[in-house]
């Protein structure tokens, strides 16, 4: 499973902070890979709407996540305040991974 | 698609977007799927937004004749992402000793005071709405945002960014998103979104200039947005500069401030809702130029023109830079005659927007 994760938006636009994080579960430890894959499943990632935007809100951060798995690929772009709990858990885990991925 | 699903969908079509979003968060799986489907329908969203907005606009008085209703409540999320969090300080209560709580309280007060003292606007909605803010949001959270109802402030990561309550103009910026939501309701995308952002920077900067002791004239103001937010070690002075867009920072990690000051450098992008925090540099610079050319305090003339434009029923939600500029020139003429009209026309011309 391969995941690309980007943080977009916010109070200001910083070009240097727009780099996506790439994660390949084959390069993680067995435990980390299993944890990440179970979070993707728990979030029903491939059934998530591809874009969720709030109305009347501003300066919010937005996350763009692409998951490739077994020939499938799906991208979800979600505003932080509009995400459900399981997707928030996945987002929180992805955010702990530095730009170079987990060590 | 079965009849039950169609039924759901028709109900959701007449629900305002904020209710749909609540359903997205809290509803059953079926409800959430139906709500998501409706939210994806841009046309339905626009209709609901426009209808809700027209009701708000009709209800909200332009200026109050009664007493102000300053009601602030600051909540503490205690480094979680749960909103609103625990009540930490309410109107009239003394300082808590927690810098983020107290700065948010003071900043909300400074913003309320500017709108009330200068325009007799009674809070964000013009009708005494309670001002709510949540601080200590999330862990290492590098952002401040308006969620449509309240302000939310992170503490920063302690490496690049300081706590977001540290700059009073950031607080004025967020609250002004609420004011815009209750007035022109500028679409948060492309040029109308950049205008929405710019209006927040303009009034955020006015809050800073008005709250300073002593008050600052347009000539004395630094016109920086988010001064003090970047920690020592980051190469920059603020997040944006209205007087000199594109010069606020140039740092190995953050990159270089991408804001243009002139239409010839307008950035076309799909990032950042179509560059709302990027191209806002252009109208920001027009405002700073106008305020400086008038002299005196920025809220005395330039601020009057901008406030009148923001609350002008002729300003459409989808307004582009040229539409907004034209209306500021019309309002400048009505307020300050031929001299005001010329000053506004010149300020826009200097950023590459010709009003004829």
Does residue A80 sit within a domain? yes
Print the domain residue range for A72: 2-95
Q: Which two tokens stand for residue A87?
A: 């997707």
Does residue A6 sit within a domain? yes
Global confidence as pTM? 0.83
Interatomic CA distance for residues A78 and A89, integer angstroms = 13
Query: Which chain B positions have a beta carbon within 8 Å of A82's beta carbon?
Result: 21, 24-25
Q: Which ranges in chain B are annotated with CATH 3.10.170.10?
A: 72-166
Kindly give the residue spans of alpha helices, DSSP state H, lying in chain B: 3-13, 17-26, 29-40, 42-59, 99-119, 168-182, 190-211, 271-275, 281-294, 302-310, 321-350
Does residue A101 sit within a domain? no
Element spanning A68, H or E: strand A61-69
**Residues of A at the B interface, defined by Cβ within 8 angstroms:** 8-18, 49, 51-61, 80-82, 84, 88
Considering only alpha carbons, which residue of chain B is nearest residue A10?
Answer: B143
Which fold does the domain B72-166 belong to in CATH?
A: Elastase; domain 1 (3.10.170)
Q: pLDDT 10s per residue in chain B (356 long)?
A: 333 333 222 223 223 333 345 455 566 565 565 545 545 544 444 444 555 555 555 555 567 778 999 999 999 999 998 899 999 999 999 999 999 999 999 999 999 999 999 999 999 999 999 999 999 999 889 999 998 889 999 999 999 999 999 999 999 999 999 999 999 999 999 999 999 999 999 999 999 999 999 999 999 999 999 999 999 999 999 999 999 999 999 999 999 999 999 999 999 998 888 999 999 999 999 999 999 999 999 999 999 999 999 999 999 999 999 999 999 999 999 999 999 999 999 999 999 999 98
Q: Vertex A9, ends B177 and B33: CA angle to 5°?
A: 90
Q: Which ranges in chain B are annotated with CATH 1.10.390.10?
A: 210-350
**Residue carrying the six token digits 């969720």:** A52
Contact B146 A55 (CB under 8 A): no
Kindly give the residue spans of alpha helices, DSSP state H, lying in B276-320: 281-294, 302-310
What DSSP letter does each residue of B223-259 carry, written as one string? -EESTT-BPTTSSBS-SEESSSTT-SBEETTTEE---
Q: Closest Cα to residue B208, out of B226, B190, B196, B181?
A: B226
Q: Provide CB contacts within 8 A for B101, sequence distance 6+.
A: B74, B76, B88, B89, B135
Q: What is the CA B229 to chain-centroid distance, rounded?
A: 17
Look at chain A and report how many structural domains it folds into: 1
Known catalytic residues of B? 174, 277
CB B103 within 8 A of CB B169: no
* Alpha-carbon torsion angle B206, B211, B217, B218, nearest 10: -20
Whether ipTM > 0.85 holds is no
The CATH H-level (homologous superfamily) assignment of domain B210-350 is: Neutral Protease Domain 2 (1.10.390.10)
CB B167 within 8 A of CB B102: no
Q: What is the CA A56 to chain-centroid distance, rounded?
A: 24
- Phi and psi at residue B145, in whole multiples of 5°? -150, 165
């Amino acid at each position: 499973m391969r995941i690309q994760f980007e943080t977009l938006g916010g109070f200001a636009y910083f070009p240097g902070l727009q780099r996506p994080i790439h994660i390949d579960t084959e390069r993680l430890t067995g435990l980390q890979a299993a944890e990440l894959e179970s979070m993707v499943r728990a979030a029903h990632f491939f059934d998530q709407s591809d874009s969720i935007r709030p109305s009347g809100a501003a300066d919010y951060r937005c996350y763009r996540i692409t998951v490739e798995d077994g020939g499938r690929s799906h991208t979800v772009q979600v505003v932080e305040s509009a995400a459900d709990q399981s997707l928030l858990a996945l987002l929180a885990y992805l955010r702990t991974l530095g730009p170079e991925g987990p060590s | 698609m079965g009849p039950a699903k169609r039924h759901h969908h028709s109900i959701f079509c007449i629900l305002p977007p904020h209710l749909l979003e609540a359903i997205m968060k809290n509803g059953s799986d079926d409800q959430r799927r139906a709500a998501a489907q409706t939210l994806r329908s841009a046309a339905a969203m626009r209709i609901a937004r426009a209808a809700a907005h027209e009701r708000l606009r009709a209800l909200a008085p332009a200026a109050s004749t009664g007493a102000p209703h300053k009601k602030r409540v600051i909540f503490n999320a205690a480094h979680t992402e749960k909103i609103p969090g625990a009540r930490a300080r309410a109107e009239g209560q003394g300082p808590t000793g927690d810098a983020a709580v107290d700065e948010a309280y003071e900043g909300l007060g400074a913003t309320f005071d500017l709108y009330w003292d200068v325009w007799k606007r009674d809070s964000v909605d013009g009708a005494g709405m309670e001002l709510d803010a949540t601080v200590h949001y999330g862990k290492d959270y590098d952002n401040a945002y308006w969620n449509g109802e309240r302000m939310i402030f992170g503490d920063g990561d302690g490496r690049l960014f300081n706590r977001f309550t540290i700059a009073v103009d950031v607080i004025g910026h967020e609250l002004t998103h609420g004011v815009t939501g209750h007035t022109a309701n500028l679409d948060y995308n492309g040029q109308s979104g950049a205008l929405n952002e710019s209006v927040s920077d303009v009034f955020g900067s006015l809050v800073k200039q008005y709250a300073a002791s002593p008050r600052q004239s347009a000539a004395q103001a630094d016109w920086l947005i988010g001064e003090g937010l970047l920690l020592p070690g980051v190469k920059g002075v603020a997040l944006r500069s209205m007087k000199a867009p594109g010069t606020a920072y140039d740092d190995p990690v953050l990159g270089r401030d991408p804001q243009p000051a002139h239409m010839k450098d307008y950035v076309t992008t799909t990032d950042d809702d179509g560059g709302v925090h990027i191209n806002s540099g252009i109208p920001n610079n027009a405002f700073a130029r106008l305020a400086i050319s008038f002299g005196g305090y920025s809220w005395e003339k330039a601020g009057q023109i901008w406030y009148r434009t923001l609350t002008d029923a002729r300003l459409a939600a989808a307004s582009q830079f040229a539409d907004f500029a034209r209306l500021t020139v019309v309002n400048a003429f009505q307020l300050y005659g031929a001299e005001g009209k010329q000053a506004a026309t010149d300020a826009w011309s200097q950023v590459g927007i010709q009003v004829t």
